[in-house]
């Protein structure tokens, strides 16, 4: 049987969200002292909610450089992480862009718009000498224009709620994930139930992803859920791995950094 793996993925990473994440990341590093290395995948937003480029914050850049030096991975996570496209025009768009999320930045962009944001994000990474192996759309939502733009660029992978995709051929790799919707009490209650079911269903998956968000950190019992789940999965035999390393292990001819 193949070794089972675990990807710990921090979403919406930016200077504005660092105060939420800092104690949690310290706690993960403390777990690693006893459980072994826990490399993290950081999904970095270049200009989170139009608040300014993350590259303009020297402390943030220093932190990300330090995480890379530890063996972590940085991936591009949209550009603004907010949906500033024209209002939804169909019931499906209304559902996905206003009910499921209001931050599906790449759902309604056309190919040219998506390509411009992908290029600007990749350029920001390049200026910091950060590898940019992956692109993950905010809320995992990409319209057809964004997909066309993505496959024309040099990213190694992308992902949705259930799969990773090797690029440019969009080869699907099963990778179920757990994620909470923590922005309201009823969503947190529902997430506890849904995650328990999904965890059980994915217990034999080769890779299990944990999709963690800054808002999770604002609720102590959600934060504790993630820490306890990470520890339990490692103790059960799952070995932490970055998303890029996992894709490389599954894709002939690919190489992890």
Name the least confident of 138-147, 149-158, 192-201, 242-251. Answer: 192-201
Q: Mean pLDDT for the chain?
A: 91
Helical (H) or strand (E) element with 165: strand 163-166
168 pLDDT band (50/70/90 cuts)? Answer: very high
Q: Which residue has the higher pLDDT, 91 or 109?
A: 109
Q: Over the stretch 138-157, which tens digit does the pLDDT of each residue have?
A: 999 999 999 999 999 999 99
Prediction pTM value: 0.92
Question: Thinking of the domain 5-250, which architecture would CATH place it in?
Answer: Alpha-Beta Barrel (3.20)
Q: Give the burial class of 128: count Cβ atoms within 10 A of its Cβ; 0-12 exposed, 13-18 middle, 19 or more buried.
A: middle
Q: What is the DSSP letter of 97?
A: I
Two tokens, residue 142 = 């990409």
Q: Over the stretch 99-123, which tens digit does the pLDDT of each residue have?
A: 666 777 999 899 999 999 999 999 9
Two tokens, residue 54 = 């993350």
End-to-end CA gap in the chain: 25
Cβ-Cβ contacts under 8 Å for 238 (sequence gap 6 or more)? 4, 5, 6, 208
């Amino acid at each position: 049987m193949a070794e089972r793996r675990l990807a710990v993925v921090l979403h919406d990473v930016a200077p504005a969200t660092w105060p939420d994440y800092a104690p949690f990341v310290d706690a993960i590093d403390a777990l690693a002292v006893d459980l072994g290395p826990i490399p993290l995948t950081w999904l970095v937003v270049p200009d989170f909610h139009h608040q300014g480029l993350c590259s303009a914050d020297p402390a943030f850049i220093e932190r990300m450089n330090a995480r890379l030096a530890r063996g972590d991975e940085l991936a591009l996570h949209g550009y603004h992480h907010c949906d500033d496209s024209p209002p939804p025009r169909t019931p499906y768009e209304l559902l996905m862009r206003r009910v499921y999320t209001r931050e599906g930045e790449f759902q309604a962009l056309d190919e040219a718009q998506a390509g411009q944001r992908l290029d600007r994000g990749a350029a920001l990474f390049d200026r910091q000498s950060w590898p940019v192996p992956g692109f993950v759309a905010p809320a995992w939502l990409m319209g057809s224009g964004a997909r066309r733009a993505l496959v024309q660029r040099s990213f190694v992978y992308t992902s949705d709620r259930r799969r990773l995709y090797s690029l440019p051929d969009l080869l699907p790799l099963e990778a179920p994930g757990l994620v909470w919707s923590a922005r309201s009490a009823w969503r947190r209650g529902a997430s506890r139930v849904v995650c328990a079911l999904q965890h059980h269903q994915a217990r034999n998956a080769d890779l299990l992803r944990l999709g963690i968000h800054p808002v999770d950190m604002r609720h102590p019992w959600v934060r504790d859920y993630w820490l306890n789940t990470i520890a339990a999965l490692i103790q059960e035999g799952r070995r932490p791995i970055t998303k890029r390393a996992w894709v490389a292990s599954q894709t002939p001819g690919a190489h992890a950094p």
